[in-house]
Amino acid sequence: MDKDITIYDIAKGVGVSPTTVSRALNDHPAVNKKTKQLIFDKATQLGYRSNMFASNLRRQRTNTIGVIVPILNSNFQSSVMAGMEKVANEAGYNLIISQSMGTAQKEIANAKTMFNSRVDGLLVSLAHDTENINHFEPFFKKGIPVLFYDRVAEHKQSTSIVIDNVQAAYKSTTHLIEQGCKRIVHISGNLKINVYANRLKGYKYALIDNSLPFDESLIITNDLTEEAGVKAAEQILEMSPRPDGVFVANDFCAVNCMKALKQAGVAVPEEIALVGFNNDPITRVVEPALTTINYPGYEMGEVAVRSLINYLDALSDISITNTVTLRSDLIVRGSSLRNPKA
């Protein structure tokens, strides 16, 4: 069996010190480009393989980042993962991805697995029913950075990557009001989760600013699934007087609600106008196309990983920047457009 080639073999072949070889292989600026190239060429010729395991052990790094998502089969989370992968790969990190299936119980198990896997840091979008984050305390105690994105929790040792959900919901509801809607249903997820609580706030603020009353009976909370969208449509059809606008906290539920309303003979947007949230691809293929909030998932993934790596490289302090807020925009389409001038 051939013995492993070491930096000492490369140093002997080039005529430099082992320290210079080590610096060159790590792209240290103290080694000039010509010498680096000679060392790289000799390393390739000899078949040198960097011992990443030993290197990481010395640095106490695994070069892995853990990611816990509620569910993978969503366009938003897929976009986030793509952004994360891009930045992680460029920086030499690998992602370990697990899904909580939207339950706190599975999220707790995932967090334990990530901790035992010795990830360098953790990125989390909370499950639908997570009410506390005690299961992340081992990370905080060890000084392992935890960043939350989208569905976030507040913690003094963590940073959250979000959009301004209050403002986005305010824009959505105001748009419906500008189209002539006066009785607007809001379909939301678990109001203990930040994104849904804040979207409800934005909805309420828009009503207040337009002198419309808030009616608790117009708030429908569910798990925002396909079935939930159909059931919400049934609830809307039974309301008296019937609502003339619907703002839904995600696109998948909104599309299925709209389809069910149309099947029941409701004209969209003439009788009931609808707005969703996320800008999933499905919003552009339904008829009419769904008005929605463009949620920058890819950018969110990029920012989350870059922020985590900056902390690991001591370029930033995770406890100083508690929240990073990304821009979102309302995309107006046929499902809500009654008044083209509004």
**pLDDT tens string 227-270:** 999 999 999 999 999 999 999 999 999 999 999 999 999 999 99
**What is the three-class DSSP state of 134?**
helix
More confident residue, 26 or 177: 177
Assigned superfamily of 7-50:
lambda repressor-like DNA-binding domains (1.10.260.40)
Candidates 327, 320, 280, 279; CA nearest to 303 is 327
pLDDT in tens, 272-294: 999 999 999 999 999 999 999 99
pLDDT in tens, 82-117: 999 999 999 999 999 999 998 999 999 999 999 988
Q: Fold for 63-163+297-327, please state it.
A: Rossmann fold (3.40.50)
**What is the three-class DSSP state of 114?**
helix
pLDDT in tens, 30-41: 888 899 889 888
Q: Quick one: pLDDT at residue 111?
A: 94
Q: Quick one: pLDDT at residue 53?
A: 43
CATH number for the domain running over 165-295: 3.40.50.2300
Indicate if the pLDDT at residue 319 is higher than 90. Answer: no
CA 60 vs CA 96, 97, 115, 242, 331: distances in Å: 18, 21, 14, 62, 46
194, containing H or E segment: helix 194-209
- Residue 192 pLDDT class (50, 70, 90 cuts): confident
Q: How are beta strands 292-294 and 329-331 bridged, if at all?
A: antiparallel
Q: Quick one: pLDDT at residue 147?
A: 95
Which residues are registered as beta bridge partners of 123? 67, 147
In the chain, what are the domain boundaries?
7-50, 63-163+297-327, 165-295
pLDDT in tens, 22-32: 888 877 788 88
Indicate if the pLDDT at residue 323 is higher than 90. Answer: no
Distance of CA 40 to the CA centre of its chain: 39
Q: Do domains 63-163+297-327 and 165-295 have the same CATH topology?
A: yes
CA 147 vs CA 55, 112, 154, 167: distances in Å: 26, 16, 10, 22
Pairwise CA distance, residues 302 & 123, whole Å: 12
